[in-house]
């Protein structure tokens, strides 16, 4: 009403209507107009007064009173009609606009939430007609299930938000009955989106199923449908998947039936332009499984942001049914096995700039029973092998394998040699990548980069492997054989308390090779003897690449490391090449390119200007040109080191979790001293976390980051790479190195530093560090000062431990800030990733020649 009133006295409008009224003064008066005028706001009175005055003036000019009266009434009526008309228009406008606004706001604030799932219906037999989505049979069964789902959700706590359920597939399966794949859609105000968790939506469905305790079966009744409780899987789905698989989105969707055993059905995908999402539903003969083999895949390598190939253990893109995701191009054969007669492969490409190609095939295979009973030979030594299910394929996430071993004599036990794998006693936490039960002892399995041997001092050994990972796992090969319990390890080997045999040289080398620490216990005495009886222990200490003796004599005169003469250069693969000056001449002479590696890194140029060795805490501008600050969603979170134009090295633990592993959440700040003043900032394109990273003990704590934009040549004065030490690069305890970062300056103060901090630390003897922490693996090293005070802390993780080479003055990335007990505590040095162990892993991705 307020708006209406003010408009009615708009002077402009009023004047215009007055003029018009005067022009139309001959028009006759209408009583109903008068009536309507009287309804208009009181402020109109002003207009009436003005009008009256004018009429009065005219009257004085000698015009007849009666005529004037008629004219006045006419003018009044007409003028008000216009005002009224304007007002009505205005009111209608306001109402329409308000409604429209309300509608838009309402619509904007509501989200459609999609859930995708499956369950098995035991009391409906599969009919071939179900394969045709238009068939009467499919429509009838789909309608039946949809009605049941409607009833479940319209009578639930979520009824207000429930929109619909759609059955997208019904198929046969190896457990009998029908496997029903469905979508559930809710329309939810944004504020209430949180309450729609996957478990909550699944719980409503599960709670609606009536099971009988007497029957002791997982199949219950859901409005007449015999639904298998154990088969219910449900996860949040994507709108794009919903529209594609329910027939409104992409038409790149194929149902492929494999009805012959062991025949290779080709699966080749080529994408040349645009945005692409394709679905390949593979359905095998009932009672069988599907093996998908990927021969080669050429896709963009950026953590599945642009391109991805996802393999599901279902017919719909259900997150919890993902068997594997391929995000990297590869030419090596990989194969995956389903747990049922179905598989879905989705290929997504967000933008196609380059040619994308996937070559592979799938086949129908028979179900394998894994495990057996094995009687070993009397002769000791490895004699056979046990394999993960469907070896050499990746093994599916659900399996139980049991091997029962029996040796011919009580004096013989069972030895297991795990390839690229180890087992260690299970703690209270569960095992992430499957677990083992060996004669009632529980162990977790871990993938590592070498073999480990495990002994069980018993003639009867029961071994159970439970595959309990979320995804398919790399194939496993374990050699077995009998061994003499009284003489467990072959000559030259040391036996850990767990039964594991390690090379004698690994005993007391300061590295926890046994995983139960037993190889590093009681070693201090052994060390003291180093000087006294070096010749006696020579075989186990000398020339193993580890600095065992304090005076370094164990690693002196080691001929194996100097096979090349003064006129030749020794490549990293130990090949000698002719020219001495082959190093850094711009031509790759070594097959492995090592003559051209570390040529333009760790330059001492800047260090000559700044005297880094001098203590102090604030770093100088340009002093650590390889130091990078990694920002996660805009906040400084971890450190990293520049190792080439487009690659950084950091710690794997910085990228653990859904959001942290997404390169789009990170930016790299290079050439920076004070936070916010980086000379070069770029988004991160790709994160490669080491495949053996172990989030329990921080083993293999290393990750490579590829920059979206390589830093330019013009930044050379402030950005420079640090050298990567080779595997044989030695680091000596007591050696002085530097740690740098913007992390916390105190353990208790959770604020990072604005100015880059530096601290000089000492490499700590590995045995001493092991006695402090226990679990120090060969991929770790310790550095600090025993008084505490100088240490890395939260926020420094991933940053460099830089050591300057005595021989050529170059700076080497000896370590990566990884973990430790608190920060700067006396006797608790920082633990760093030993970078030299990863030289070849790094060069798998980063070219040797910069
Ligand atoms: C961290 O939380 C962290 N004192 C890094 C290094 C150390 C401790 C904690 C070593 O990122």
Query: Highest-confidence range of 188-192, 540-544, 558-562, by mean pLDDT?
Result: 188-192
Q: Residue 786 has which token pair?
A: 């025993």
**In this predicted structure, which of 73-82, 216-225, 499-508, 683-692 has the lowest mean pLDDT?**
73-82
pLDDT number for residue 506: 79
**4-8, 570-574, 744-748, 815-819: lowest mean pLDDT where?**
4-8
- Best of 743, 751, 786, 788 for a ligand 1 pocket test (most atoms within 8 Å of beta carbon): 743
Under DSSP, is residue 52 helix (H, G, I), strand (E, B) or coil? helix
Q: Which of 149-158, 364-373, 673-682, 747-756 has the lowest mean pLDDT?
A: 747-756
What's the whole-number mean pLDDT along residues 320-330? 97
The CA distance from 784 to 754, in Å, is 23
Angle between helices 524-532 and 766-773 in degrees, nearest 10: 170
- Which phi and psi angles does 284 have, rounded to 5°? -100, 170
Q: Which of 206-210, 227-231, 536-540 has the lowest mean pLDDT?
A: 536-540
Ligand 1 pocket test: pick from 753, 830, 833 the residue with the most ligand atoms within 8 Å of its Cβ.
830
Q: Is the CB of 204 under 6 A from ligand 1?
A: no
User: Taking the C-alpha atoms of 335, 338, 341 and 343 in order, what is their torsion angle to the nearest 10 degrees?
Assistant: -80
Residue 606 pLDDT greater than 60, yes or no: no
| ω into 392 cis (within 30 of 0) | yes
Asked if residue 18 has pLDDT above 50, the reply is no
Q: At what angle do helices 198-207 and 136-154 cross, to 10 degrees?
A: 100
pTM of the shown model = 0.80
Active-site hit among 701, 765, 791, 796: 701
Ligand 1 near 54 CB (within 6 A): no
Cα separations (Å) of 735 from 306, 438, 802?
Answer: 45, 44, 11
Span from the CA of 191 to the centroid of ligand 1 (angstroms): 37
Q: Give the whole-angstrom CA distance, residue 789 versus residue 704.
A: 29
- Cα of 781 vs centre of ligand 1, distance in Å, is 14
Query: 453 and 488 in contact (C-beta within 8 Å)?
Result: no
**Given 165, 308, 644, 797, the catalytic residue:** 797
Q: How confident is the model at residue 23 (pLDDT cuts 50, 70, 90)?
A: very low
pLDDT band of 439, cuts 50, 70, 90: very high
* pLDDT of 569 over the 90 cut: no
* CA proximity to 597, closest of 566, 628, 643: 643
Distance spanning both ends of the chain, measured CA to CA:
75
pLDDT of amino acid 309: 98
Q: Identify the CA nearest to 792 among candidates 756, 737, 754, 744.
A: 744
829 lines ligand 1 (CB under 6 A): no
**Tens digit of pLDDT for each residue in 188-206?**
998 777 788 999 999 999 9
Rounded CA-CA distance 708/681 in Å is: 10
Among 13-17, 124-128, 263-267, 496-500, the minimum mean pLDDT is found in 13-17
Segment among 418-432, 587-601, 633-647 with least mean pLDDT: 587-601
Residues 6+ apart with CB under 8 A from 73: 29, 34
Lowest mean pLDDT among 440-444, 482-486, 502-506: 502-506
| Eight-class DSSP state of 11 | H
Secondary structure (H, E, C), 147-194: HHHHHHHHCCCCHHHEEEEEEEEEECCCCCCEEEEEEEEEEEEHHHHH
Q: How far is CA 730 from the centre of its chain?
A: 34
Residue 531 clears pLDDT 90, i.e. is over it: no
For residue 280, name the pLDDT band (cuts at 50, 70, 90): very high
**Confidence at 398, pLDDT banded by 50, 70, 90:** confident
Cβ 448 vs Cβ 692: under 8 Å: yes
Q: Rounded distance, CA 741 to CA 816, Å?
A: 11
- Cβ(793) – ligand 1 distance below 6 Å: yes
Q: Using DSSP, state whether 471 is helix, strand or coil.
A: coil
473-500: pLDDT as tens digits: 999 999 999 999 988 787 788 877 766 7
761 CB less than 6 Å from ligand 1?
no
Distance 549 CA to ligand 1 centre (A): 29
Residues contacting 366, CB < 8 A, separation 6+: 261, 288, 289
Nearest CA to ligand 1 atom 4: 823
Q: What is the pLDDT of residue 498?
A: 67
Ligand 1 atom nearest residue 820's Cα: 10
Q: Which atom of ligand 1 has the smallest separation from the CA of 797?
A: 11
Does the active-site annotation cover 61? no
pLDDT of residue 38: 30
Closest among 740, 790, 787, 781 to 763, alpha carbons compared: 781
Q: How far is the CA of 687 from the centre of ligand 1 (A)?
A: 21
Q: Which of 373, 292, 279, 269 is nearest to 339 (CA)?
A: 292
Percent of the chain scoring above 90 in pLDDT = 61
Give the residue, out of 784, 797, 818, with the most ligand 1 atoms within 8 A of its beta carbon, to mutate for a pocket test. 797
In this structure, of 213-217, 283-287, 303-307, the range with the lowest mean pLDDT score is: 213-217
Which residue is closest in CA terms to ligand 1's atom 6?
Answer: 793
| DSSP 8-state symbol, 753 | P
- Contact (CB, 8 A) for 340 and 289: yes
What 3-state DSSP class applies to 608? helix
Q: Examine the pLDDT at 546 and tell me if it is beyond 80.
A: no
| Spatial distance between the Cα atoms of 394 and 562, rounded to a whole number of angstroms | 42
Residue 701 bears catalytic tag: yes
Average pLDDT over residues 721-748: 93
pLDDT beyond 70 at 42? no
447 CA distance to ligand 1 middle (Å): 25
Mutation to probe ligand 1, out of 698, 792, 798 (largest number of atoms < 8 A from CB): 792
pLDDT at 559 over 70: no
Looking at per-residue pLDDT, the higher value among 576 and 472 belongs to 472
pLDDT confidence bin for 521, thresholds 50/70/90: low
Q: What helix, strand, coil percent values describe the chain, rounded to 5?
A: 25, 35, 40
Atom of ligand 1 nearest to the CA of 795: 11
Contacts 24+ apart (CB under 8 A), 539-547: 539/504, 539/505, 540/504, 540/505, 540/507, 540/508, 541/505, 541/509, 544/505, 544/509, 545/727, 545/728, 545/730, 546/505, 546/509, 546/510, 546/511, 546/766, 547/730, 547/731, 547/732, 547/733
> Cα–Cα distances in Å, from 292 out to 283, 315, 365, 542?
12, 14, 10, 49
C-alpha 757 to ligand 1 mean position (Å): 15
Distance separating alpha carbons of residues 310 and 253, to the nearest angstrom: 14
- Please state the atom number of ligand 1 nearest to the C-alpha of residue 823: 4
Instruction: Determine which helix (DSSP H) or strand (DSSP E) holds 464, and give its type and residue range.
Output: strand 460-467
Cα dihedral value 268, 271, 275, 278, nearest 10: -10
Asked whether 816 lines ligand 1 (CB < 6 A), one says no
Residue 570: the pLDDT is 78
**pLDDT tens for residues 377-388?**
999 999 999 999
Long-range contacts, stretch 550-555, CB < 8 angstroms, 24+ apart: 550/733, 552/732, 554/530, 555/730
Tokens of 75: 């003018």
At residue 25, the pLDDT reads 34
pLDDT of 816 strictly over 90: yes
797 is catalytic: yes
* Mean confidence (pLDDT) of the chain: 84
Among 181, 455, 507, 653, the one annotated catalytic: 653
CA of 823 to the centre of ligand 1 (A): 6
Nearest CA to ligand 1 atom 11: 794
Residues 325, 339: Cα–Cα separation, whole Å: 17
765 lines ligand 1 (CB under 6 A): no
Q: What is the DSSP letter of 640?
A: E
Residue 42 CA to its chain's centroid (Å): 69
**Is ligand 1 within 6 A of the CB of residue 241?**
no
- Is the CB of 396 within 6 Å of ligand 1? no
Q: Quote the pLDDT of residue 27.
A: 33
Give the number of other Cβ atoms within 10 Å of residue 90's Cβ: 14
Residue 33, helix vs strand vs coil:
helix
Instruction: Determine whether the shortest distance from the Cβ of 797 to ligand 1 is under 6 A.
Output: yes
In the predicted model, is pLDDT for residue 171 greater than 90?
A: yes
Distance 729 CA to ligand 1 centre (A): 25
Answer yes or no: is the C-beta of 363 below 6 A from any ligand 1 atom.
no
Decide: 592 and 571 in contact? Cβ < 8 Å: yes
Q: What is the Å distance from ligand 1's center to 788 Cα?
A: 13
Closest CA to 112 of 48, 192, 47, 49: 192
Ligand 1 centroid, distance to 792 Cα (angstroms): 6
Residue nearest to atom 2 of ligand 1 (CA): 794
Residue 820: CB within 6 Å of ligand 1? yes
Q: Which residue has the higher pLDDT, 766 or 77?
A: 766
Tell the residue number behind the tokens 């159970």, with chain if given: 464
Kindly tell me if the per-residue pLDDT of 572 is higher than 60: yes
User: What's the pLDDT score for residue 554?
Assistant: 57
> Which range among 29-33, 399-403, 777-781, 823-827 shows the weakest confidence by mean pLDDT?
29-33
Ligand 1 centroid to 623 CA: how many Å? 23
The CB of 798 under 6 Å from ligand 1? The reply is no
Q: 595 in ligand 1 pocket by Cβ < 6 Å?
A: no
């Amino acid at each position: 009403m307020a708006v209406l009133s003010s408009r009615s006295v708009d002077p402009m409008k009023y004047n215009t209507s007055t003029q018009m009224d005067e022009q139309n003064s001959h028009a006759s008066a209408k009583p109903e107009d008068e009536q309507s005028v009287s309804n208009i706001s009181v402020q109109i009175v002003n207009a009436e007064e003005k009008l009256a005055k004018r009429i009065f003036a005219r009257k004085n000019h000698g015009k007849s009173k009666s005529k004037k009266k008629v004219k006045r009434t006419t003018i009044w009526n007409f003028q008000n009609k216009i005002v009224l008309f304007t007002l009505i228009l205005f009111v209608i406008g306001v109402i329409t606009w308000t409604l429209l606004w309300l509608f838009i706001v309402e619509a904007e604030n509501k989200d459609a939430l999609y859930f995708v799932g499956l369950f098995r219906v035991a009391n409906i037999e599969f009919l071939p007609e179900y394969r045709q989505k238009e068939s009467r049979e499919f429509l009838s069964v789909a309608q039946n299930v949809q009605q049941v789902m409607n009833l479940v959700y319209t009578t639930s706590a979520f009824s207000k938000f429930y929109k619909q359920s759609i059955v997208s597939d019904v198929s046969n399966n190896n457990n009998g009955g029908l496997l029903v794949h469905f979508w559930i859609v809710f329309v939810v105000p944004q504020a209430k989106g949180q309450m729609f968790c996957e478990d909550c939506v699944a719980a409503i469905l599960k709670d609606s199923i009536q099971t009988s305790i007497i029957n002791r079966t997982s199949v219950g009744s859901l409005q007449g449908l015999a639904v298998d409780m154990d088969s219910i899987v449900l996860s949040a789905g994507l709108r794009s998947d919903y529209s594609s698989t329910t027939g409104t989105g992409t038409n790149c969707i194929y149902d492929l039936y494999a009805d012959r055993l062991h025949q290779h059905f080709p699966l080749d995908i080529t994408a040349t332009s645009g945005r692409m999402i394709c679905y390949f539903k593979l359905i095998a003969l009932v009672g069988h499984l599907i093996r998908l083999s990927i021969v080669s895949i050429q896709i963009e390598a950026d953590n599945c942001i642009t391109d991805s190939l996802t393999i599901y253990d279902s017919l719909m893109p259900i997150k919890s049914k993902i068997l594997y995701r391929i995000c990297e191009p590869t030419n090596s054969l990989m194969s995956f096995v389903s747990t049922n007669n179905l598989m879905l492969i989705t290929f997504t490409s967000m933008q196609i700039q380059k040619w994308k190609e996937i070559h592979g095939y799938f086949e129908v295979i028979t179900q394998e029973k894994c495990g057996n009973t094995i009687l070993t030979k009397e002769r000791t030594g490895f004699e056979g092998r046990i394999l993960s299910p469907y070896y050499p394929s990746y093994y599916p996430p659900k399996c139980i394998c049991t091997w029962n071993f029996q040796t011919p004599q009580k004096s013989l036990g069972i030895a297991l040699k795990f390839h690229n794998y180890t087992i260690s006693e299970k703690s209270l936490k569960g095992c992430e990548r499957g677990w083992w039960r060996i004669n009632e002892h529980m162990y977790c399995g871990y993938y590592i980069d070498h073999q480990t041997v495990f002994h069980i001092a018993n003639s009867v050994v029961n071994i159970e492997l439970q595959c309990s990972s979320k995804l398919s796992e790399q194939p496993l090969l374990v050699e077995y054989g009998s061994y003499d319990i009284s003489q467990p390890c072959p000559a030259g080997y040391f036996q850990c308390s767990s039964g594991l045999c390690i090379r004698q040289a690994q005993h007391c080398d300061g590295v926890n090779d046994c995983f139960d620490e037993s190889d590093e216990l009681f070693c201090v005495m052994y060390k003291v003897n180093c000087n006294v009886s070096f010749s006696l222990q020579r075989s186990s200490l000398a020339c193993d690449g580890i600095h065992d003796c304090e005076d370094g004599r164990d690693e002196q005169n080691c001929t194996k490391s100097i096979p090349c003469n003064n006129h030749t250069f020794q490549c990293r693969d130990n090949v000698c090449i002719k020219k001495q000056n082959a190093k850094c001449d711009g031509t790759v002479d070594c097959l492995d390119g090592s003559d051209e590696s570390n040529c333009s890194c760790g330059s001492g140029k800047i260090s000559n200007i700044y005297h880094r060795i001098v203590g102090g805490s604030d770093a100088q501008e340009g002093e650590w040109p390889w130091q990078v600050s990694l920002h996660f969603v805009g906040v400084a979170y971890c450190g990293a080191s520049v190792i080439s134009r487009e690659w950084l090295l950091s710690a794997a633990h910085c990228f653990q979790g859904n959001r942290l592993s997404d390169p789009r959440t990170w930016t790299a700040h290079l050439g920076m001293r004070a936070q916010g003043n980086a000379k070069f900032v770029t988004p991160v394109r790709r994160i490669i976390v080491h495949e053996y990273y172990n989030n329990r003990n921080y083993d293999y704590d290393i990750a490579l980051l590829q920059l979206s934009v390589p830093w330019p040549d013009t930044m050379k004065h402030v950005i420079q790479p640090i050298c990567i030490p080779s595997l044989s690069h030695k680091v000596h305890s007591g050696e002085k190195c530097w740690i740098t970062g913007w992390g916390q300056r105190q353990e208790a103060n959770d604020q990072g530093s604005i100015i880059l901090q530096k601290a000089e630390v000492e490499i700590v003897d590995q045995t001493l560090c092991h006695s402090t922490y226990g679990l120090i693996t060969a991929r770790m090293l310790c550095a600090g000062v025993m008084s505490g005070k100088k240490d890395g802390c939260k926020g420094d993780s991933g940053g460099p431990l830089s050591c300057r080479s005595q021989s050529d003055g170059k700076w080497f990335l000896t370590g990566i800030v990884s973990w430790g007990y608190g920060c700067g505590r006396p006797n608790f040095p920082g633990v760093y990733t030993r970078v030299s162990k990863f030289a070849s892993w790094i060069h798998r991705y980063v070219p040797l020649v910069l």
